[in-house]
Structure 1
């Protein structure tokens, strides 16, 4: 990593200091969470904390404090010297500091005062003018619109100045475009060339299916003003004329590889991009995070996977609106587990990080049926559906707890649906599910005791068709109490058997392997048809509505609040 400004950030999701969470920024940091939870706000507040002299931590929404990386005198001297122009613009006997932007030459600051500022943590609090001036040249915020303009023509200015705030000019001056063109060729089967052939005063980006001169190599400066720079001039198009997705991808690549800024704050880098390009961009961000300090917010699991595949470790922060705002910090090994463990990978558990809720079921038929029922409920004003939920199959009830645990620790309300016979089976599996729902201590023992008490009664009924209705009144009451208690913690038991017990009024009969297809036929596919089944009262509609109420309750039981996973 180059010269990162930030050592650590402290986040606040309540107003009291004891609720803050600290995150060290020594690696790539990714911020995720539903809309309007503060991801973009956090990036903006980080930017303001070092550049806005009017910034107030008390008035911030997410950020409590940015802790600087305080430099020693030698490091600070090297940093300040790095920003000096190649040519001497000294005034009098003192040495003056100049920004790398040509338009900033009227700004001059004493070299030694800048060195002192970067060796003093209090400079961040005072935000003296000379300090914020240089920090502004070290940190750049990239949002959806700003990245589209990066590919626009950049003024070349005085070519003796070897540094520029314009990444396109820096690309023009670079010895090679090999690394960038490797990504561009994979993405678009094209190459990027940067030249001033059409505008002597500006660097202009072109794209072509044929590589200029040799793949990815910028020719010497004296050769860049000739039409011969291109293998076939007619096949070249100006990059700025391309789609928003292409411009966004190119712009971010230029910033990653040729920007002079040490720290990049990137808001939704996947904006405008197809999922495959989001993944590819993630690999580029991951690679460059060893050279730059990078903090991103994203809604894309593909971008996250790209980052994971290209770094040894990263930070993942998930912000939610629960309890007035909470943050869950994921350790890298948990993400690797999601990505690499066969059960979690095949169940696409990582996708759950980008949903408001998850519903974990035993098998594929359960997943398809409950998802369809929830879809119909969402399309109706008569009941409450589970909002923005991912339905996940665990490939067996014995594995549900593994998925429930990892998602809840990420702050995602993950509900478990189990068949009635689960209450009569393995005590160990029952205990695992309780633990995954953060049920422990006396409460854990109480639930386990209730399970042992009703186990014999539950085991006496038909494994797939039996339920509460087949029990004696006293046994049914005891089992019902257990079911109600578990539902408070997001564990939902099918009260009258299994999947095939739902919607008996439709008269669906047949072997289990045929039941789902027959049920879908009965449900219908035309909402305006009289035979189409709309949500009603009781039955599976009421069952899923209970799950919806639990997942939407910000104070739901069974979660892990404000933790590092």
Structure 2
């Protein structure tokens, strides 16, 4: 039904607006809070109801798929219903019905609008939306997902119109859904027709007998099976969404945060089934999510998955179509998976330290800045740790390729690392390759100067050990690296910060000691609040780079 979607912005300020060609598949919106994920779903729904989106903030336009004349006439014929007694029609008019919606259409305009659904001049787009498109989109938020399993009227089973009625008369679809639900929940999905004119959903611990009969064994089974209200909201939402996917009439489904109510394993399973089912059922599924498990489930299906990362900072929005191969590398690499790199998709920015102690300390510093509203703080930032400085590029590079401002923080002994190790830092920081040799030469000069002091420059003061000229060339290198998001601790190592606090600076006990000195109760006299200089300014510089929409180091 959808041919393409045009967004209002691209991957950065100077890049073209993102336009993606659409095939039946799942499209997943990711990004930090308030980036436009849920807004994009609302705007898709608005376009299907109104034909346009003049007040939209994320999506500029949807181009609908054009149908052939033969297909359009078949669609009209399949939805025709007779006039009721007393209803009059012109010769070119007809009644059509979509589920419970029965409307009058001009037959010629109906077919012409399906053939030319994007024609605004002759008003065909307006008619396409009103006659056809708006009847085939389903919007699912939290409450509506829970109510998908509410009992429904049985109606005429010879011509079933309700979703449960259609499911009841299709043994194949009912069995498919039952298998999916059982694999995910350990319960058997079944339909109960034993109560009046209603069809109700039940869940049993054993496979049900023939649901289409009223034999004693079927009635006995239904008496002991769980009603929909007796199972968790997660099971109800999971089952209801899959029912709409495989049996429902909508050709387009939008789902806001499908992971709500779901255990991570169930979110993974739902992502997998929605990705596969969208292609099998020829549907467009649009999802906004904060769940890495849902994402991983979608990719594990092997089906086509569109991932669009949205951001909105300082009044500037971005939309970037993420590479599936890059995301798969994040999920499959043991190191990246173990440190939770996938979570970076849902934050404004990421800071990567050398080790867990670095991560914990810098995160605490940032939290104290944010707590007092200090502009040096970095809001909505994920802190990760590598195994060491050599593995930082392995985390930075894939995140930056996804458009995520990922900053690395390293101790000053990074300058000891030459050759491929140093080149990997420059490549991950997206420093132009033509400058790599220059940076390599500068690193050597700085290392010579630091080693000439005769001291352990990492532990004994870093740049403070240098003469004015040597210090200048070292600071120039540090500042240039920082402009690309690689931040070197100028005075040596992480343990150097807050040096006025009298703590044990040894590796094994430093983090516990520094946290004890910093205090845990903001109302106590000994609690360390942010001040000017020191690590507070250092994190402020990292934060400023991440907030800068014109920052260096992020591929276009």
TM-score by length of 1: 0.85
2:203 matched to 1:207? yes
Give the distance between the partners of 1:555 and 1:445, measured in 2 at CA. Answer: 25
C-alpha offsets along residues 227-262 of structure 1, whole Å, 9 cap, x if unaligned? 742544443343146554343223212211211112
Where does residue 22 of structure 1 map in the other structure?
Answer: 19
Where does residue 495 of structure 2 map in the other structure?
Answer: 500
Paired residue secondary structure (1:266): strand
1:169 is displaced (CA, Å) by 3.5
Where does residue 321 of structure 1 map in the other structure?
Answer: 312
On the 8 A contact 2:43/2:59 being kept in 1, the answer is: yes
1:96-495 equivalences under 5 Å are 96=94, 98-101=96-99, 103-110=100-107, 113-123=109-119, 126-129=124-127, 132-164=130-162, 167-176=163-172, 177-200=174-197, 202-213=198-209, 219-220=211-212, 223=213, 228-240=217-229, 242-290=231-279, 291=281, 292-322=283-313, 324-381=316-373, 384-440=376-432, 447-460=439-452, 461-462=455-456, 464-466=458-460, 467-495=462-490
On the 8 A contact 1:279/1:303 being kept in 2, the answer is: yes
Label 1:23 to 1:300 Cα distance change in 2 as closer, same or farther (>3 A).
same
List structure 1 segments (4+ residues) > 6 angstroms apart after TM superposition: 14-18, 85-95
1:485 is displaced (CA, Å) by 2.8
1:427 is displaced (CA, Å) by 4.8
On the 8 A contact 1:454/1:478 being kept in 2, the answer is: yes
Give the distance between the partners of 1:396 and 1:385, measured in 2 at CA. Answer: 25
Paired residue secondary structure (1:390): strand
**Aligned pairs, number:** 543
Paired residue secondary structure (2:449): helix
Paired residue secondary structure (1:492): strand
* Greater alpha carbon shift after TM alignment, 412-421 vs 385-394: 385-394
Paired residue secondary structure (1:456): helix
Give the distance between the partners of 1:230 and 1:359, measured in 2 at CA. Answer: 60
* Greater alpha carbon shift after TM alignment, 33-42 vs 228-237: 228-237
* Greater alpha carbon shift after TM alignment, 424-433 vs 269-278: 424-433
Label 1:59 to 1:19 Cα distance change in 2 as closer, same or farther (>3 A).
farther
Label 1:459 to 1:318 Cα distance change in 2 as closer, same or farther (>3 A).
farther
Label 1:21 to 1:188 Cα distance change in 2 as closer, same or farther (>3 A).
same
On the 8 A contact 1:148/1:244 being kept in 2, the answer is: yes
1:308 is displaced (CA, Å) by 1.0
C-alpha offsets along residues 29-86 of structure 1, whole Å, 9 cap, x if unaligned? 1111122222222223223334315x24x44322222222223334444544554579
1:56-75 equivalences under 5 Å are 56=53, 58-75=54-71
On the 8 A contact 2:276/2:303 being kept in 1, the answer is: no
1:306 is displaced (CA, Å) by 1.1
Give the distance between the partners of 1:341 and 1:133, measured in 2 at CA. Answer: 49
On the 8 A contact 2:50/2:129 being kept in 1, the answer is: no
Give the distance between the partners of 1:341 and 1:86, measured in 2 at CA. Answer: 60
On the 8 A contact 1:150/1:168 being kept in 2, the answer is: no
Label 1:353 to 1:6 Cα distance change in 2 as closer, same or farther (>3 A).
same
Where does residue 12 of structure 1 map in the other structure?
Answer: 8
1:362 is displaced (CA, Å) by 1.8
* Greater alpha carbon shift after TM alignment, 537-546 vs 261-270: 537-546
On the 8 A contact 1:51/1:136 being kept in 2, the answer is: yes
Where does residue 41 of structure 1 map in the other structure?
Answer: 39
Label 1:513 to 1:85 Cα distance change in 2 as closer, same or farther (>3 A).
farther
On the 8 A contact 1:11/1:65 being kept in 2, the answer is: yes
Give the distance between the partners of 2:226 and 2:15, measured in 1 at CA. Answer: 56
